[in-house]
């Protein structure tokens, strides 16, 4: 059921080895054959590449990974569950402008309630381009923080971060909701029930890697607490919030 991979580091470095391992999760070492996407920060702008095909078989993914250098990245491999068309509009990551900047979002899990006509958590300022619950939830989150968003460094008591945590908790109560999200400055990770973190330093560079499942067994990946939201900037943890989503019958 989809997998996430995120990077925040203090300097732009090459990530070919890690991305090569993640690429295999898209249809080779895991059952996520329905699309892939890479969004990374470069020259003060997002560079976004995605395709509705298996990452493990994608020459474009391999070529991008080999040459990619960045300090901020969100990647995704997709398993269409519940089933929806394998088209670019349904392929993660999604992008939307809000609060004077461009945001990137990718999701693991399923919350079909948000796409139901009488369901919860509908975006009210704009309409998603695709049909996934993921994109609907993303727009709902941005709508919810727009009125309180601040450019200030988002420490744990920031009003917009607390609101984001509450909205994430609400959505997670209707299903399974793990996500990575970024505005080009911070990397936000919400681990409803499936997210891991690896932090280390090498040659003076502070690095944080985030993944649905550890990419290898050689490092000390830490499991998020259930319902934990964490915020990273330049490889460091700068904010966090704990939520307690109500278990739903639709979780698995």
CB 2 within 8 A of CB 108: yes
What pLDDT, on a 0 to 100 scale, did the predictor assign at position 191? 98
CB 146 within 8 A of CB 99: yes
d(CA 221, CA 213): 9
Give domain limits for the chain.
3-242
What pLDDT, on a 0 to 100 scale, did the predictor assign at position 41? 98
- Say if residue 235 is exposed, middle or buried (CB neighbours under 10 Å; 0-12, 13-18, 19+): buried
State pTM to two decimals.
Answer: 0.95
Q: Is 215 helix (H, G, I), strand (E, B) or coil?
A: coil
Q: Which residues pair with 107 in a beta bridge?
A: 179
What pLDDT, on a 0 to 100 scale, did the predictor assign at position 192? 97
Tens of pLDDT, residue by residue, the chain (252 residues): 799 999 999 999 999 999 999 999 999 999 999 999 999 999 999 999 999 999 999 999 999 999 899 999 999 999 998 788 999 999 999 999 998 999 999 999 999 999 988 888 988 887 899 999 999 999 999 999 998 887 766 666 688 889 999 999 999 999 999 999 999 999 999 999 999 999 999 999 999 999 999 998 777 999 999 999 999 999 999 999 999 998 765 443
Sheet hosting strand 228-233, strand order edge to edge: 94-98, 101-110, 176-182, 187-191, 228-233, 236-242
Sequence-distant (6+) residues with CB within 8 A of 49 are 37, 38, 39, 60, 61, 64
The class level of CATH for 3-242 reads: alpha beta
């Amino acid at each position: 059921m989809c997998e996430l991979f995120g990077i925040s580091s203090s300097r732009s470095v090459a990530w070919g080895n890690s991305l090569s391992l993640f690429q295999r999760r898209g249809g080779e070492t895991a059952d996520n054959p329905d699309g892939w996407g890479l969004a990374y920060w470069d020259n003060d702008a997002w560079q976004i590449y995605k395709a509705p095909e298996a990452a493990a078989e994608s020459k474009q993914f391999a070529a991008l990974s080999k040459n990619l250098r960045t300090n901020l990245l969100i990647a995704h491999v997709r398993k269409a569950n519940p089933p929806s068309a394998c088209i670019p509009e349904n392929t993660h990551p999604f992008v939307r402008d809000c609060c004077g900047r461009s945001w990137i979002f990718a999701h693991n899990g399923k919350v079909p309630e948000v796409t139901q006509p009488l369901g919860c958590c509908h975006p009210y300022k704009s309409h998603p381009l695709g049909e996934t619950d993921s994109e609907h939830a993303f727009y709902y989150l941005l709508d919810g923080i727009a009125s309180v968003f601040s450019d200030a460094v988002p420490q744990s008591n920031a009003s917009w971060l607390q609101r984001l945590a509450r909205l994430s908790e609400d959505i997670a109560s209707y299903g399974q909701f793990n996500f990575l999200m970024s505005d080009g400055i911070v990397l936000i990770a919400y681990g409803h029930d499936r997210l891991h973190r690896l932090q280390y330093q090498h040659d003076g560079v502070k690095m944080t890697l985030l993944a649905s499942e550890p990419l290898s067994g050689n490092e000390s990946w830490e499991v998020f607490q259930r319902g934990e939201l964490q915020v990273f900037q330049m490889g460091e943890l700068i904010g966090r919030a704990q939520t307690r989503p109500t278990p739903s019958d639709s979780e698995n």
